[in-house]
Amino acid sequence: MRPAVVSVVIDLPTDHRFHRATVEALHHASEARGIPIEVRIVPTDTIRDPGAVATAASAVVIGPGSPYRDPEAANAVVREARERSVPLVGT
């Protein structure tokens, strides 16, 4: 089974407790449901094509840590995911 790709839009450092908790929760859910996942971390200041971020994923998580370095990019990913019917969770 190919893993589901989950893009996590987040600007917190990888050692921040909220960042770690977000990724750990995704892996916990993956293990509990028996669905393999690949977590892709997407900092907002690296987003050039919000549509590509949304469509390259099986689901998008807008992680904690507002204000984002590029709030317009985060909002654009939310819009693209909603318009393309990509599952989206915001924290």
C-alpha angle 48-49-53 in degrees, rounded to nearest 5: 115
90, pLDDT greater than 80:
yes
In the chain, where the domains are located? 4-90
48, pLDDT greater than 90:
yes
CA distance 65 to 49: 21
For domain 4-90, give the fold: Rossmann fold (3.40.50)
Rg of the chain over CA atoms, in angstroms? 12
Per-residue model confidence as pLDDT tens digits over 13-40: 999 999 999 999 999 999 999 999 999 9
